Amino acid sequence: MAWGELSYNDLVAQNERLTDELARYRELDRLQTGEPRILGESVDSFQSILDFIPDGVTITRSSDGLYVSVNDAFTALTGNPRSEAVGTTADALGLWLDSAAQRGFEREVRSNGCARDVEAKLRRKDGSLFDALLSSKIVRMGAEERILTVLRGVDERRTSGERLLRAGKIEAISELAGYVAHDVNNILMVVSGYADTLLAAFQTEDPLREVVRVIKRTALKTSSLTQQLLAFGRTRELTPVPIDINDVIGEMEVVVRRIIATDNITLRLALDADLGLASLDPDRLEQIIMSLTTNARDAMPDGGTLLFATERVTLTGAERNLLPSPRSGRFAMFLVSDTGTGMPPHALLHAFDPFFSTKARKRGLGLSSVYRIVLESGGLLSLQSEVGRGTTVRIYFPREEPAR
């Protein structure tokens, strides 16, 4: 077996052979007191073995969770240098995004002696998030009890698979939505037509006129929903034209302020005057603005701040968390950010699913509709959210480059 192929089980299996060498790690307990570290050649050798393992590996004290050793892969995965990680804890590094999930993982390890392939959302030193699989086991190192943990970043193949699954799901539901919307729209036309006929037949003072008016209003409200379904089902072709996103935001500002007026929400604008033009359908951009404004308002029941910002950006293709997948190019970025309740990690995974909502009584196309429009416009999208801190959506539309 090659060291480069070491897995979690292989590493744990080496414990008995390496017990004598690992006993030297008792000296690392002096880290907290500032006493000198006394490490022999065997410990240096063991550290070299850890550094050769491609997955992140940490060894912590069972008593207080203090890191006594981390390998190079852990540093590469989290951005935390060994000199900063050793002698501190995961809490101090802010490694876990969800503290409740962290405590649950720790309880499982202490109760069962180990935990295998637990999914977690972790935070890098620069604040970016990543998905990881964690496996931990309580081991004896000489006379001391330690916790050996292996972190494996979720690879790009899985991420790509999830993107394909999401795209396929939206494609299937959009087709269904289109068919349903057409049929419902035809039925509503009949209902609305007969309602008009009844209104004309009843005398002005007839009490049944109000009943018919309710039927008419209900039909119109339902028709509004079918228009959303039709848009989601791609039954209306996009008509992209070169536009300045700032201009559309300016035209929509009055409408946006009206939507948030009664909710003690402040609208802030930070628009880049040098944004340039992007080729997209202005009607669809208005739909995006309305959807994101409504979502932000619902996320701030006690008031807050809604920010619209634009910026001229250049992407390298190395950026993380961009949907459908990162790519390089020049873009006009449109940002919508709120200071609302935010979403937990599990909700982020489904945020773009049709009819998914974190609000108990509301179900709609919402973010899935926004995602669909961005895809059809050749753009990119990223979503960041944290419970208690709010949500930020960044949309990147390809810029129109002037002819030379």
Rounded Cα gap, residues 310 and 245, in angstroms:
8
Cβ atoms of 117 and 103 closer than 8 Å:
no
Q: How many helices (H) and strands (E) does the chain have?
A: 13, 12
All residue ranges of the chain with pLDDT < 70 are 1-44, 155-183, 185-186, 223-238, 353-366, 402-404
| pLDDT attached to residue 74 | 93
| pLDDT attached to residue 278 | 93
The CATH class of 158-232 is: mainly alpha
| pLDDT attached to residue 241 | 87
Beta-carbon contacts of 14 under 8 Å, excluding residues fewer than 6 positions away, are none
DSSP bridge pairs for 147: 60, 138
**Which of 271, 263, 253 has its CA nearest to residue 296?**
263
Q: Where are the beta strands (DSSP E) in 197-292?
A: 241-243, 265-270, 277-280
Buried b (16+ CB within 10 A) or exposed e, 44-57: eebbebbeebebbb
Superfamily assignment of 241-400 in CATH? Histidine kinase-like ATPase, C-terminal domain (3.30.565.10)
| pLDDT attached to residue 390 | 92
Residue range 318-354, pLDDT digits in tens: 777 788 778 889 999 999 999 998 888 777 777 776 6
| pLDDT attached to residue 99 | 85
β-sheet with 56-61: strand ranges across = 67-70, 56-61, 144-153, 129-141, 114-123
For the chain, the domains span 3-154, 158-232, 241-400
**Burial environment of residue 113 by CB neighbours within 10 A (0 to 12, 13 to 18, 19 or more):** exposed
Quote the crossing angle between the two packed helices 366-376 and 282-299, to the nearest 10°. 150
Domains 3-154 and 158-232 share a fold: no
Rounded Cα gap, residues 98 and 382, in angstroms:
20
Beta-carbon contacts of 67 under 8 Å, excluding residues fewer than 6 positions away, are 58, 59, 60, 85, 86, 87, 88, 89, 90
SS3 318: coil
| pLDDT attached to residue 174 | 58
Q: In terms of DSSP H, where are the helices of 58-201?
A: 72-78, 82-85, 90-93, 99-112, 156-201
Residue range 286-308, pLDDT digits in tens: 889 988 998 899 889 899 999 99
Cβ atoms of 89 and 66 closer than 8 Å:
yes
Which one-letter amino acid corresponds to residue 29? D
| pLDDT attached to residue 157 | 47
Rounded Cα gap, residues 385 and 292, in angstroms:
14
**Burial environment of residue 42 by CB neighbours within 10 A (0 to 12, 13 to 18, 19 or more):** middle
**The Cα angle at residue 137 between residues 134 and 142, in degrees rounded to 5:** 140
| pLDDT attached to residue 331 | 94
Rounded Cα gap, residues 187 and 194, in angstroms:
11
What letter would DSSP give residue 35?
Answer: P
| pLDDT attached to residue 236 | 52
| pLDDT attached to residue 66 | 92
CATH code of the domain made up of 3-154: 3.30.450.20
SS3 177: helix
